[in-house]
Structure 1
Amino acid sequence: MIAIIDYGAGNIKSLQFTLSKLNISNTLTQDKTLIKESKAIILPGVGSFQDAMRELRDAGLDEIIKQEVTNGKPILGICLGMQLFYQSSKEGGHSEGLGLLTGQIERIPSTVKVPHMGWNSLNVIQENDITANLPVEPLVYFVHSYYANKVDGNDVIANCSYGTEIPVLVQKNNIIGMQFHPEKSSDIGIQLLTNFKEMYL
């Protein structure tokens, strides 16, 4: 069972529908016992970094996430969920993140239309299990105004170009982040979630 962290992020139904389609048992929860008993965690995200971290802290979910990840449990962060893995964000003023990955969340440059919304291609720079069976320059769906900057290049599996080079698929050991929405990315998203399932479940 995958525990999807419930912190009022919204828009979870399409993710749950896609997981169920792949026969991945899942539950939306704040229950710390269920999170500890789960095989993996998904941290979804729609909204602002500052509000999300406040919700996680108020519910004590930030500590249980860090504890479980430190113990080796796989975690997948989607969109804002991936951004929350990093040390800090400039969105709405300075906010501390979970600190699971090195980097800072900054606004996409104003040289392009913000938010970055719609389809864009992944430039895969490290082949590994999470990128198995993907075509060349696969298209995925984005909705975001901020991105991870000053990251550890060793963690970046794929990036995309939108005003700057944006890390959009990252991995460090049992931590995987997707800046895009796999549940809205058609066959490519299905393949990525299938890869996650085969890696960890």
Structure 2
Amino acid sequence: MELTTAPRKKVVVLDYGFGNVRSAERALAHVGAEVEITRDYDRAMAAEGLLVPGVGAFAACMRGLKEARGDWIIGRRLAGGRPVMGICVGMQILFGRGIEHGVETEGLDEWPGTVGPLKADVVPHMGWNTVDAAEGSALFAGLPADARYYFVHSYAVHDWELETSNPHMAAPKVTWATHGRPFVAAVENGPLWATQFHPEKSGDAGAQLLTNWINTL
């Protein structure tokens, strides 16, 4: 696969204590972005793109995010139409709530919906999988339908609940994957994009996907 080169844009990887920020930094730098790891409010607000990683439990990630004022940063950026991308649990916390071991935790509620246990015989879902990309997706532009992406997770969103009835508003583009039953693998919703899989661990396909995001900044 021939990898196109992204323009040099400034991207901040939000450092709130959860997520492999160094892997994300290397992957973004590899496709030509100028990358900084920080939780500094002014720097995160000034960057052309904000990447929100996430590894671990939903509740712990939400605590860390709030302690770093990440919820405020994300909300303020989105209010101004400034691009944000979430990865793995960094995607899950964008939904209304997460339920782990019977404990319910409020998310950022950018999208309605519940993050719950994967409904599959084998959990966690760990390894390579294909996706059913949304029609007209910019995130998956130029990527073949059989491209594979790297997943590591035990929880997911199985039902997309947001309805867009306003004809003047573009409906979010929702990409699905299947492990046991279908779950949300990626979302493109105005300035807010997210993936359940790890593009920084997904080889050339993940690099092209990050390039596609950077090209929109």
Name the TM tier (shorter chain): over 0.9
Distance in 2, Cα, partners of 1:156 & 1:167 = 11
User: Would the aligned equivalents of 1:3 and 1:34 in 2 still touch at CA under 8 Å?
Assistant: yes
Give the residue type in structure 2 aligned to 1:194: T
Give the residue type in structure 2 aligned to 1:181: H
| Greater alpha carbon shift after TM alignment, 187-196 vs 62-71 | 62-71
**Which residue of structure 1 aligns with residue 83 of structure 2?**
74
Distance in 1, Cα, partners of 2:68 & 2:18 = 13
**Which residue of structure 2 aligns with residue 191 of structure 1?**
208
User: Would the aligned equivalents of 1:124 and 1:137 in 2 still touch at CA under 8 Å?
Assistant: no
User: Would the aligned equivalents of 2:15 and 2:21 in 1 still touch at CA under 8 Å?
Assistant: no
What is the alpha-carbon root mean square deviation over aligned residues?
1.4
**How far off is 1:64 after superposition?**
1.9
**Which residue of structure 2 aligns with residue 44 of structure 1?**
53
Structure 1 counterpart of 2:118, from 108, 124, 147: 108
**How far off is 1:156 after superposition?**
4.3
Structure 1 counterpart of 2:174, from 145, 157, 179: 157
Distance in 1, Cα, partners of 2:133 & 2:70 = 32
**Which residue of structure 2 aligns with residue 56 of structure 1?**
65
Distance in 1, Cα, partners of 2:156 & 2:35 = 28
**Which residue of structure 1 aligns with residue 139 of structure 2?**
130
Provide the secondary structure at the position in 2 that maps to 1:188: helix
Give the residue type in structure 1 aligned to 2:46: E
Provide the secondary structure at the position in 1 that maps to 2:184: strand
Q: Which runs of 5+ in 2 are unaligned?
A: 1-9, 164-170
Structure 2 counterpart of 1:179, from 160, 172, 196: 196
User: Would the aligned equivalents of 1:160 and 1:167 in 2 still touch at CA under 8 Å?
Assistant: yes
Percent identity reads 33
**How far off is 1:14 after superposition?**
1.7
Distance in 1, Cα, partners of 2:172 & 2:124 = 24
- The one-character-per-residue Cα deviations of 1:96-133 (angstroms, maximum 9, x if unpaired) are 11111121101001x42111000000112322221210
Aligned length in residues: 199
User: Would the aligned equivalents of 1:102 and 1:150 in 2 still touch at CA under 8 Å?
Assistant: no
User: Would the aligned equivalents of 2:173 and 2:187 in 1 still touch at CA under 8 Å?
Assistant: yes
**How far off is 1:138 after superposition?**
1.5
Distance in 1, Cα, partners of 2:121 & 2:143 = 28
Give the residue type in structure 2 aligned to 1:61: G
TM-score by length of 2: 0.87
- The one-character-per-residue Cα deviations of 1:54-101 (angstroms, maximum 9, x if unpaired) are 111122221121111111010110001000110100024110111111
User: Would the aligned equivalents of 1:169 and 1:179 in 2 still touch at CA under 8 Å?
Assistant: yes
Distance in 2, Cα, partners of 1:24 & 1:120 = 26
User: Would the aligned equivalents of 1:159 and 1:169 in 2 still touch at CA under 8 Å?
Assistant: yes
Provide the secondary structure at the position in 1 that maps to 2:45: helix
Give the residue type in structure 2 aligned to 1:139: R
Distance in 2, Cα, partners of 1:158 & 1:108 = 17
**Which residue of structure 2 aligns with residue 4 of structure 1?**
13
Please show how residues 4-43 of structure 1 align to structure 2 within 5 Å: 4-43=13-52
More helix by share: 1
User: Would the aligned equivalents of 1:168 and 1:179 in 2 still touch at CA under 8 Å?
Assistant: yes
**Which residue of structure 1 aligns with residue 167 of structure 2?**
none
TM-score by length of 1: 0.94
